[in-house]
Amino acid sequence: MQIIDIHPHIISDNETKYPPAPLFGKRSDWSQERPSTVESLIAAMDAAGVAKAAVVHSSTTYGFDNSYVVDGCNAYKDRLVAVGSVDMLADDVANIIKRWADAGLAGLRIFTGGSTKDFDPSELDNPKSFKAWAMCAELGLPMCIQTGPIGLPQVRMLAGKFPNVKIILDHLGRPEVLDGPPYAAAQSLFDIADLPNVYMKLTPRIFGDVKKGSASAETFFPRVVAAFGAQRLAWGSNFPTSPGTLSEILATAQAGLASLSDEDRTWIFGRTAQQLYPALA
């Protein structure tokens, strides 16, 4: 099984060449406390046995300047691809996306909230952003969305309006799972399983949540696979945002998915990533 990570981050140690300019004006704590250069990421991947990765731009460090993630991934084209962010409401957003794609960007991400800001899904259904989605469809770029359950109605709308764009929900859309089986609190997540172009990232957040309350890995992840299919699930480490070494984060994910079949785990830990980012194949 070739292991591919679709959600690590990198932070440069050269703030003169790559100056921080965080989205919303507040830099994330992790990017200052646990920065990881592209070289550090490669070393961590080697130690963990991770073959390749789709590296996600840190909006809470660099805003819409994708220079470091593009430059870093271009230095290791045999192992890395870059996923960046743009101002979806910019008048010339289509040209901006085209320029970044020409520079090496393999996918995009919308950050509607997270560690530095409450979720605001209003950008997702703003008609000004539709030019960006149309360009993603033209270029074959997948779009990651960082949102919680509050943004799932907009995800449904976008998936229907742009069926040729693969949409990847960061952190499995952050479902509430502590109620345990049948996971009624997460029903809004399962309700979008009928959308064939919606994919899910399984990251440390959900592997931690299934250890709390009445949830368990053995009851939750088979339910997710039954709803979406392993072909629409992919593992992401969230390294170094999530604490721990990449090896430790991977081991936690492997233990959490131990109840699944070998075939399902092969998709989640590699083959789905190759469908989303063909350059990783």
Within a 10 A sphere around the Cβ of 243, how many other Cβ atoms? 13
Within a 10 A sphere around the Cβ of 209, how many other Cβ atoms? 20
Of 248, 240, 111, 85, which Cα lies nearest the Cα of 170? 111
pLDDT at 116 over 90: no
| pLDDT tens-digit map of 62-75 | 999 999 999 999 99
pLDDT band at 112 (very low <50, low <70, confident <90, very high): confident
The CATH superfamily holding the domain 4-280 is: Metal-dependent hydrolases (3.20.20.140)
| pLDDT tens-digit map of 219-258 | 999 999 999 999 999 999 999 999 999 999 999 999 999 9
pLDDT band at 121 (very low <50, low <70, confident <90, very high): confident
pLDDT at 210 over 60: yes
Torsion of CA 47, 57, 55, 80, to 10 degrees: -110
Sequence ranges of the domains in the chain: 4-280
Beta pairing, strands 4-5 & 52-56: parallel
CA distance 258 to 235: 14
Mean pLDDT in residue range 28-49: 94
What pLDDT was estimated at residue 117?
Answer: 58
